[in-house]
Amino acid sequence: MVASSNPTVRKRRLGAELRRLREASGLKSTEVAERLMVSQPKISHLENGRRSISPRDVRDLCVIYGVADQEVVDSLMRMARECAQPGWWNVYGDIPQSVYIGLEADAAAIHAYEPLMIPGLLQTPAYAHAVIGETIPRLTAAQAATRLRVRLRRQYRIYDPARPLRLWVVLDESALRRPVGGPDVMREQLEHLNAMSAEPHITVQVLPYTVGAHPGLSGQFSILGFAESPEAVVYVERFTSDLYLERPSDVRHYSVMYDHLQAQALDPYSSRGFIADATKAYINAASRP
């Protein structure tokens, strides 16, 4: 059993393995919680990878599940110890979206739909600075600076030559037309977006207003896939409590939605032309006195 270097993903994989062992033993989570004298939600959080687990708890669970292979037990306990190791984002303190950042760092592919803004992985520093400063009320200068550093550090993932991220983005036309930070910031951002969309591992499609109603009207979402796991995760960003959907039925629902969005959007070549035309509007706006 090979563990990823990412603590967030390790917790998910360890939780999934513990859930598999519990189901194979025929025990319900309530029965396991009763034997360990803990709450049933704790068992659920452990199996969903949303809570760390100690090697001792792993050992106790293996006893309850009747795991006789000591190599399996040792491997799971080793993974539990590795879960305690911090990810790069932990040096920035208690930051929002830390769970998502951990998943993003290990994802092999991300399919994202963005109705209102350019996604964080493709934002320029000036655009990201404007988004953070103008969308989060009562944010201190220090907090804004930390969020900006984290956002730009996340972008290292798409430049990793050994493990390039397959990024596919469907953008609503609104994301191109909303003048975040002013004409000069938008011109630079859209030029950067078009340059990045020409990379072989990045695809950008624009969903123009003329499409009318479409499945993405309900809001932003991303589907993250992983090289070492067939299980994908749907991420739905919210202002306070983000959603992480892992049930196969939920993932299929959002995957079908994304297929429809891709089909309705302009093809990648036409999208680059559309973005170039939008860029000209900001160039003209910036040139006006």
- Give the mean model confidence (pLDDT) for residues 84-106: 78
| DSSP label at residue 267 | P
Q: Identify the CA nearest to 115 among candidates 171, 188, 41.
A: 171
User: Based on the domain organization, do 138 and 227 belong to the same domain?
Assistant: yes
Is residue 34 one of the residues assigned to a domain?
yes
Q: Identify the CA nearest to 104 among candidates 12, 1, 207, 193.
A: 12
Please give the Cα distance from 187 to 134 (Å, whole number).
18
What values do phi and psi take at 246, rounded to 5? -125, -10
Is residue 276 one of the residues assigned to a domain?
yes
**Beta-strand relationship, 166-172 and 109-114:** parallel
User: Based on the domain organization, do 23 and 153 belong to the same domain?
Assistant: no
Tokens of 204: 């950008």
User: Based on the domain organization, do 273 and 153 belong to the same domain?
Assistant: yes
Is residue 169 one of the residues assigned to a domain?
yes
Q: Report which of residues 57 and 252 the model is more confident about.
A: 252
User: Based on the domain organization, do 100 and 234 belong to the same domain?
Assistant: yes
Please give the Cα distance from 260 to 214 (Å, whole number).
8
User: Domain boundary residue among 35, 55, 86?
Assistant: 86
User: Domain boundary residue among 58, 86, 114?
Assistant: 86
Give the helix, strand, coil percentages of the chain, each rounded to 5.
60, 10, 30
Q: How do residues 220-273 score in pLDDT, each as one tens digit?
A: 999 999 886 777 889 998 776 788 888 889 999 999 999 999 999 999 999 999
User: Domain boundary residue among 86, 114, 141?
Assistant: 86
pLDDT at site 224: 94
Is residue 1 one of the residues assigned to a domain?
no
User: Based on the domain organization, do 184 and 265 belong to the same domain?
Assistant: yes
Is residue 220 one of the residues assigned to a domain?
yes
Confidence of residue 2 (pLDDT cuts 50, 70, 90): very low
pLDDT at site 7: 55
User: Based on the domain organization, do 21 and 127 belong to the same domain?
Assistant: no
The number of domains in the chain is: 2
Q: How do residues 122-168 score in pLDDT, each as one tens digit?
A: 999 999 999 999 988 888 999 999 999 999 999 998 988 888 899 99
Residue corresponding to tokens 């025929």? 26
Describe the crossing of helices 7-25 and 70-83 by its angle, rounded to 10 degrees: 140
Please give the Cα distance from 212 to 145 (Å, whole number).
38
Please give the Cα distance from 276 to 202 (Å, whole number).
17
User: Based on the domain organization, do 164 and 106 belong to the same domain?
Assistant: yes
User: Based on the domain organization, do 56 and 179 belong to the same domain?
Assistant: no
Q: Which residues contact 191 (CB under 8 A, 6 or more apart)?
A: 279
User: Based on the domain organization, do 156 and 244 belong to the same domain?
Assistant: yes
CATH number of the domain bearing residue 24: 1.10.260.40
User: Based on the domain organization, do 122 and 46 belong to the same domain?
Assistant: no
Q: Identify the CA nearest to 64 among candidates 108, 33, 97, 104.
A: 33
What values do phi and psi take at 122, rounded to 5? -115, 10
What are the angstrom distances between the C-alpha of 216 and each of 138, 203, 211, 232, 254? 30, 18, 11, 19, 10
CATH number of the domain bearing residue 129: 3.30.870
Is residue 143 one of the residues assigned to a domain?
yes
Is residue 2 one of the residues assigned to a domain?
no
User: Based on the domain organization, do 231 and 168 belong to the same domain?
Assistant: yes
**Secondary element (H or E) of residue 97:** none
Asked whether the predicted pLDDT for residue 69 surpasses 70, the reply is: yes
- E-strand spans in the chain? 109-114, 166-172, 202-207, 221-226, 229-236, 243-245
Please give the Cα distance from 62 to 18 (Å, whole number).
8
Q: Report which of residues 124 and 16 the model is more confident about.
A: 124
Q: Identify the CA nearest to 261 among candidates 122, 118, 115.
A: 115
Is residue 110 one of the residues assigned to a domain?
yes
Q: Which domain holds residue 80?
A: 7-86
- Give the mean model confidence (pLDDT) for residues 32-54: 80
User: Based on the domain organization, do 103 and 27 belong to the same domain?
Assistant: no
Describe the crossing of helices 70-83 and 55-65 by its angle, rounded to 10 degrees: 150
What values do phi and psi take at 220, rounded to 5? -65, 145
